[in-house]
């Protein structure tokens, strides 16, 4: 990471002024307060999970709601919210989502050893909150994707310090709450961290099986939710999906070729991620870019696949900006984000029912950019206190 005055990195890593932090606090506070005033039950998506917990407490199956797409362990995790007064939940959830997103950004910065008082720390979070529409959408919806947005950078921070078992536990807990980070199993396979991988698999498995035994319909996830996810035929959900398998049929492409194309592109993305893991460069870049490649590949085929899923990988990539070889320094990284600028009206795409076309552009371009970057590798990286060889040995040693 370059910190000299001749490079933008030097300006980014120096301390931010108090005015900048004040502006950031005002923006996050306004976003949170506005959400509290206009939503109930912490947002529409959080309400789905909380309603599932209330349904279970009433003696019925939470899987009666086809839009409840979580493991049984999430039902138990939502019980505290179900027992709280609704006005308390209205305030608690948007605040918790905002704090979790900020903590995820902090973990991403520390992964790259960027100071938390730096200009990048303040400007990066300010840019995400003000310039990336899914950030505000996630806060307003209260979607549990926020658990993955915090867990992934925390996992990689722990892994970069050699604490792989703890990293596996973090991913396991996140998967138990929402199975979004399941593709991270491949990172542990790449790294051959068998004990950590066992912990990752064991935590959600035990949590889900234990919770399922408490439900009136223990196999509801397997018999109802899993077929729903495999079919992906919900008319309402399809309008907001960004994966090629959902978007291309809306443009006239038959469903089977669209799904096959998505699978092929995702498979290529996984191969590119593996090459990045085996390639050169500092540990933070290798961990972050390999993980981003895996997650973006999964988003290309997952059903559903929403634009706020990008908040799982975007902060990780953005925090690497001080490194000369980071993907965040490639032009297409920024061009991919242009359709997500809030307040911009795009001709013929302004309708909520057509928003998924913009989301698909961002997802696909970002995935291709990261995959291409993974193949090309990291060039011209300036790391002042650790050579790539020593860093690689520190991470991959037993």
Percent with pLDDT over 70 in the chain: 89
Q: How confident is the model at residue 392 (pLDDT cuts 50, 70, 90)?
A: very low
Q: How confident is the model at residue 393 (pLDDT cuts 50, 70, 90)?
A: very low
Average pLDDT over residues 224-242: 73
Q: Is residue 312 part of a domain?
A: yes
Average pLDDT over residues 164-185: 97
Least confident of 48-52, 58-62, 232-236: 232-236
Mean pLDDT across the chain: 88
Q: How far apart (Å, rounded) are the C-alpha atoms in residues 358 and 366?
A: 12
Greatest Cα pair distance in the chain: 65
Q: Is residue 156 part of a domain?
A: yes
Q: Is residue 10 part of a domain?
A: no
Q: What pLDDT is recorded for position 84? A: 94
Least confident of 4-13, 91-100, 389-398: 389-398
Greater model confidence, 55 or 381:
55
- Contacts by 225-231 with C-beta closer than 8 Å and gap 24+? 225/63, 225/66, 225/68, 225/69, 228/66, 228/69, 229/69, 229/303, 230/303
> 262-294 pLDDT, tens per residue?
899 999 999 999 999 998 888 999 999 999 999
Look up the domain containing 152 and give its range: 15-396
Average pLDDT over residues 120-141: 95
Q: Is residue 5 part of a domain?
A: no
Q: How confident is the model at residue 235 (pLDDT cuts 50, 70, 90)?
A: low
- Contacts by 29-32 with C-beta closer than 8 Å and gap 24+? 31/98, 31/129, 31/136, 31/139, 32/94, 32/95, 32/98, 32/139
> 183-220 pLDDT, tens per residue?
999 999 999 999 999 999 999 999 999 999 999 988 88
> 322-357 pLDDT, tens per residue?
988 899 999 999 999 999 999 887 877 766 677 788
Q: Is residue 8 part of a domain?
A: no
Q: Is residue 121 part of a domain?
A: yes
Average pLDDT over residues 389-398: 38
Average pLDDT over residues 44-51: 94
Q: Is residue 3 part of a domain?
A: no
Average pLDDT over residues 169-186: 96
Q: What pLDDT is recorded for position 6? A: 46
Average pLDDT over residues 70-82: 95
SS (H, E, C) the chain: CCCCCCCHHHHHHCECCHHHHHHHHHHHHHHHHHHHHHCCCCCHHHHHHHHHHHHHHCCCCHHHCCCCCCCHHHHHHCHHHHHCCHHHHHHHHHHHHHHHHHHHHHHHHHHCCCCCCEHHHHHHHHHHHHHCHHHHHHHHHCCCHHHHHHHHHHHHHHHHCCCHHHHHHHHHHHHHHCHHHHHHHHHHHHHCCHHHHHHHHHHHHHHHHHHHCCCCCCCHHHHHHHHHHHHCCCHHHHCCCCCHHHHHHHHCCCHHHHHHHHHHHHHHHHHHHHHHHHCCCCHHHHHHHHHHHHHHHHHCCCCCCCHHHHHHCHHHHHCCCCCCCCHHHCHHHHHHHHHHCCCCCCCCCCCHHHHHHHHHHHHHHHHHHHHHHHHHCCCCCCCCCCCHHHHHHHHHCC
Q: Is residue 290 part of a domain?
A: yes
CA torsion sign for 79, 81, 84, 85 is: negative
> How many structural domains comprise the chain?
1
Q: What pLDDT is recorded for position 103? A: 98
Q: What pLDDT is recorded for position 196? A: 97
pTM here is 0.91
């Amino acid at each position: 990471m370059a910190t000299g005055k001749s490079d933008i990195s030097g300006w980014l890593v120096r301390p931010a002024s108090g005015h900048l932090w004040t502006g950031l606090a005002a923006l996050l506070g306004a976003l949170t307060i506005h959400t509290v005033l206009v939503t109930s039950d912490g947002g529409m998506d959080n309400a789905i999970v909380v309603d599932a917990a209330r349904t279970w407490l009433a003696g019925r199956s939470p899987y009666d709601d086809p839009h409840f797409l979580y493991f049984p362990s999430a039902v138990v995790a939502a019980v505290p919210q179900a027992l709280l007064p609704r006005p308390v939940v209205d305030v608690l959830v948007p605040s918790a989502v905002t704090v979790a997103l900020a903590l995820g950004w902090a973990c991403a910065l520390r992964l790259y050893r960027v100071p938390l008082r730096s200009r990048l720390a303040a400007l990066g979070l300010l840019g995400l909150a003000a310039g990336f529409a899914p950030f505000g959408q996630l806060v307003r919806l209260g979607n549990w994707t926020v658990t993955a947005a915090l867990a992934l950078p925390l996992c990689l921070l722990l892994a970069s310090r050699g604490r792989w078992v703890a990293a596996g536990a973090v991913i396991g807990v996140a998967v138990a709450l929402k199975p979004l980070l399941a593709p991270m199993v491949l990172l542990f396979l790449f790294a051959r961290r068998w004990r950590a991988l066992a912990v990752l698999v064991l935590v959600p498995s035990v949590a889900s099986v234990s919770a399922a035994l408490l439900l009136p319909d223990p196999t509801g996830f397997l018999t109802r939710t899993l077929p729903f996810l495999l079919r992906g035929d919900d008319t309402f959900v399809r309008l907001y999906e960004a994966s090629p398998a959902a978007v291309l049929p809306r443009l006239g492409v038959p469903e089977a070729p669209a799904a096959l194309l998505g699978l092929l592109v995702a498979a290529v993305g996984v191969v590119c991620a593996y090459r990045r893991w085996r390639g050169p460069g500092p540990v933070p870049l290798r961990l972050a870019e390999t993980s981003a490649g895996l997650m973006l590949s999964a988003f290309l085929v997952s059903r559903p696949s929403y634009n706020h899923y990008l908040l799982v990988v975007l902060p990780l990539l953005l925090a690497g900006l001080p490194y000369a070889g980071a993907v965040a320094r490639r032009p297409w990284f920024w061009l991919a984000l242009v359709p997500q600028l809030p307040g911009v009206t795009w001709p013929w795409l302004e309708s909520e029912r057509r928003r998924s076309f913009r989301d698909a552009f961002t997802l696909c371009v970002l995935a291709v950019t990261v995959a291409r970057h993974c193949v090309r590798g990291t060039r011209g990286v300036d790391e002042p206190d650790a050579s790539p060889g020593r860093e690689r040995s520190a991470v991959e040693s037993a």
